[in-house]
A and B are shown apart, each in its own frame.
Chain A
Amino acid sequence: MRRGLLVGGTLRVGGSITRSHAGPRTPAPGSVTSTAMTCTEFVARFTDYEDGIASAADVGAMEEHLGRCVSCRRYKAVVERGAALLRSLPVPELREDFAPRLQNRLYSIQESLPPEPNASRTPAVAVFGVAVLLTVVAWSPFLLGSPPVVELPPIVVDRAPEPPPARSANLQERPLELRSAPELDLGLWDDTRLYEYSALSRRYDGSARTRQVGFVPNR
């Protein structure tokens, strides 16, 4: 036998139920609409009641409502029975390779992690100590006393400085003096060919353009 279920303040009897959350919740025939508590209020406060966190006044009102309302008793029974069924469902079993796989993953994480901070603490302290020591040594002359004073003999000037020789104002007028270095130039540039620059587009339009260059001394 199928009995009705109060859902959202509406009594439904068996079959598939299509319900709109947004729709108005109107108590159906069979449900209670006393001034004490309506079925809609009961459903709205049901979670608090079921989980034992409703106030004493609410608990009293809801139990009084349950005593009179078949639909809400049915609703409570369905929720409780459904939850009990849910808890009785078989728990899925872990795969056999779950633990070994997890161990391998944790092992690889352990290997990839950087060394622990404790391991590098001693060298860090040593480095810091050496740095402090070097600093102290470097500053020790200033820390221990006044810096040493070096006395130099005084410079005595006994005559006025001579003026520099007069230079030609116009450097262009001075003849260029070419100093020959025959031992270096002799034969250095003989038979030397220099490739002349040309644009790439004109590179292959004729034979290679070269010219003889060089410093050809008068022989």
Chain B
Amino acid sequence: MARARVKKETESPVVTGEARAHRMHLGEIGDSEVVQASLDGDTRAFGELVRRYDQRLLNFVYRTIGDRERAQDLVQETFVRVYRHLHRFDQSKKFSTWIYTIASNLAKNELRNRSRNPLVLFQTLKKNWDADHRPLEWEDTQYKPDDLFRKRHLREKVEEAVSHLPEHHRIVFVLREMEGKTYEEIADITGCNLGTVKSRLNRARNNFAHIIAPMID
């Protein structure tokens, strides 16, 4: 495998027109082509993969484990593992499924470790503090303050409802509702069969509806 050479930003301060065109080309092709380019030694291809997935993975991992700082570390670890083992990736499969599988496993390990060594995370405290103390944002003038407050309250309740789902329901629920994955993809990512995915999703939706129903009219 020809590994992509990772250069530090300081080594290439000037972005030439050719480089820009190449970057645009990478942005237009599919994941499998970008993976192949990275395996062929293209220096920018892996950066393109990071650009495509960093935000999505962060959202997924954060919704799964509920800790923003730790989620960033786990997303980093996901990319490091992808970089190390890209040559082992079966290119007949979808890259997104593979990278989500790695992130999902890391998130599950994190939750497992946390359940073994329970401690109160400062991040959790801070998140609640932020929610209680930040000023109201007047993002839309057509809403009244109580509408804004209610909207924010509803969002918090929705987040809370997701965090209260059992772990194996939560992962399936987030993958389906937030990431828009198909049942087959969720089955591949979680290592479950389709029946289990459907069952967990149905239960997760039921629980979710259960929690937020009082807030929705």
- A interface residues (Cβ-Cβ under 8 A, vs B): 1-3, 5, 7-8, 12, 14-17, 19, 21, 43-44, 46-48, 50-51, 53, 75, 77-79, 81-83, 85-89, 91-92, 94-95, 98-107, 109-110, 113, 116, 118
Contact = CB atoms under 8 A, between A and B. Distances in A.
Contact of B54 (A75, A89, A94): A94
B201 A47 contact: yes
Most A C-beta atoms less than 10 A away, residue of B2, B72, B75: B72
A85 B158 contact: yes
B198 A15 contact: no
Given A43-B206, A46-B205, A82-B216, A53 B80 contact: no
A106 B68 contact: no
Contact of B3 (A78, A100, A110): A110
B177 interface: yes
Closest A-B pairs by Cβ, 8 of them:
A5-B213, A47-B202, A106-B6, A78-B209, A85-B158, A82-B212, A83-B177, A107-B6
Nearest to B174: A86
A94 B62 CA distance: 11
10 contacts: A14-B214, A78-B209, A78-B216, A81-B216, A82-B212, A85-B154, A86-B178, A106-B83, A116-B1, A118-B2
A87 B178 contact: yes
B209 A5 contact: yes
Given A19-B210, A116-B2, A95 B72 contact: yes
Contacts of A110: 3, 5-6
Contact of A48 (B68, B177, B198, B210): B198
Nearest to A3: B217
Given A16-B214, A44-B202, A85-B158, 8 more contacts: A8-B206, A78-B212, A92-B62, A94-B72, A102-B80, A106-B83, A109-B83, A110-B5
A123 to B, nearest CB: 19
Contacts of A50: 205
Contact of A103 (B6, B59, B62, B203): B6
Nearest to A16: B214
Contacts of A15: 214
Contacts of A79: 205, 208-209
A78 B213 contact: yes
A12 B209 CA distance: 11
Given A82-B158, A91-B59, A46 B210 contact: no
B100 interface: no
Contact of B213 (A17, A86, A94): A17
B132 interface: no
Contacts of A83: 177
Contacts of A3: 217
Contacts of A48: 198
